[in-house]
């Protein structure tokens, strides 16, 4: 049951990100301004909440990414991705970002992918990564 709820949550997030990317690429100026005013504060708050959970502890380890047996030194992958997309990405030449995150998902380390997809998780537009790779 938890796997199904987790997949529903992940699908909802992917769908929301797809919708925002589509709006950014297709919306007229007035609609884009309206979406930016409503969504940018939500997105920045989301990034802040996620990054707060990954702030290094007094030993310089990420408390969220670290386990009892393996310490993850800061900056963890969450901070690295945040920097890449929020800071360095602004300096890089512009590219079509639609789908670029989807393509790079396959480079996510296998320990973060979770178990192999069950039948219930292997359907829909945003099925788990192992199913996407087999298409």
The pTM (predicted TM-score) of the whole model is: 0.62
State the residue range of the domain holding 69.
55-87
Identify the pLDDT of residue 91. 66
Q: What are the structure tokens assigned to 70, written together?
A: 């393996």
The answer to whether 127 and 104 are in contact (CB under 8 A) is no
pLDDT digits (tens, 9 = 90+) for 97-125: 444 444 444 333 333 334 444 444 444 44
Residues 1 and 45 in one domain: yes
Indicate the number of domains in the chain.
2
Better-predicted residue by pLDDT, 53 or 114: 53
Identify the pLDDT of residue 1. 73
Identify the pLDDT of residue 54. 97
Q: What are the structure tokens assigned to 36, written together?
A: 């930016």
pLDDT digits (tens, 9 = 90+) for 31-45: 999 999 999 999 999
pLDDT band per the 50, 70, 90 thresholds, residue 89: confident
Residues 7 and 50 in one domain: yes
Residues 74 and 36 in one domain: no
Residues 28 and 4 in one domain: yes
Contact residues for 105 (Cβ-Cβ < 8 A; gap 6+):
129, 132
Question: What interhelical angle do 29-53 and 2-26 show, nearest 10?
Answer: 140
Within a domain: 32: yes
Residues 48 and 12 in one domain: yes
Distance of alpha carbon 129 from alpha carbon 113, whole angstroms? 7
Domain end, chosen from 13, 29, 54, is at 54
Distance of alpha carbon 93 from alpha carbon 7, whole angstroms? 34
Query: CA 21: distance to chain centroid?
Result: 13
pLDDT band per the 50, 70, 90 thresholds, residue 93: low
Q: What are the structure tokens assigned to 23, written together?
A: 């709006």
Identify the pLDDT of residue 11. 97
Residues 40 and 69 in one domain: no
Q: Is 99 left (phi over 0), alpha (psi -120 to 50) or beta?
A: left
Residues 59 and 10 in one domain: no
Better-predicted residue by pLDDT, 77 or 112: 77
Please check the confidence at residue 130 and state whether its pLDDT lies above 70.
no
Within a domain: 123: no
């Amino acid at each position: 049951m938890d796997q199904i709820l987790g997949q529903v949550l992940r699908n909802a997030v992917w769908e929301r990100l797809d919708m925002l990317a589509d709006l950014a690429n297709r919306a007229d100026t007035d609609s884009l301004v309206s979406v930016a005013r409503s969504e940018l504060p939500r997105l920045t708050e989301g990034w802040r909440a996620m990054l707060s959970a990954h702030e290094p502890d007094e030993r310089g380890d990420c408390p969220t990414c670290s386990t009892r047996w393996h310490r993850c030194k800061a900056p963890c992958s969450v901070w690295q991705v945040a920097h890449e997309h929020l800071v360095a990405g602004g300096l890089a030449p512009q590219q079509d970002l639609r789908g670029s995150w989807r393509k790079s998902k396959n480079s996510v380390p296998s320990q973060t992918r979770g178990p192999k997809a069950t039948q219930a998780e292997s359907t829909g537009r945003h099925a788990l990564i192992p199913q996407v790779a087999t298409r």
